[in-house]
Amino acid sequence: MKRIVLLLLVLLLTLPAFAQVGRFKIIKVWYPGYSLKLDTATGELWAVHFDVQEDQTVEEVISKKQSHNHRQIGRYELRRTRQVGTYQIFDTSSGQYTLVKWTPKNKDGEPIGVEIDSLIHQAGEGLKRFLKELEEDLEKARESLSDSLDTV
Q: Work out the average pLDDT over 6-26.
A: 65
pLDDT value, residue 38: 94
Q: In terms of pLDDT, which residue wins out, 139 or 68?
A: 139
Q: In terms of pLDDT, which residue wins out, 150 or 103?
A: 103
CB of 88 within 8 A of CB of 82? Answer: no
pLDDT value, residue 88: 93
Q: Work out the average pLDDT over 141-151.
A: 83
Residues 86-96 pLDDT 10s: 899 999 999 99
Mean pLDDT of the chain: 82
Q: Work out the average pLDDT over 38-65.
A: 87
Can you tell me the distance from the alpha carbon of 77 to that of 98, in angstroms, rounded to the nearest whole number?
10
Cα angle value 72/104/38 (rounded, 5°): 10
Can you tell me the distance from the alpha carbon of 38 to that of 63, in angstroms, rounded to the nearest whole number?
9
Q: Which of 47-51, 64-68, 70-74, 118-122 has the lowest mean pLDDT?
A: 118-122
Q: Is the pTM of this model over 0.85?
A: no
Q: Would you list the domain boundaries of the chain?
A: 21-104, 111-152
Q: Which residues pair with 55 in a beta bridge?
A: none
Can you tell me the distance from the alpha carbon of 79 to that of 98, in angstroms, rounded to the nearest whole number?
10
* Torsion sign over Cα 65, 66, 70, 73: negative
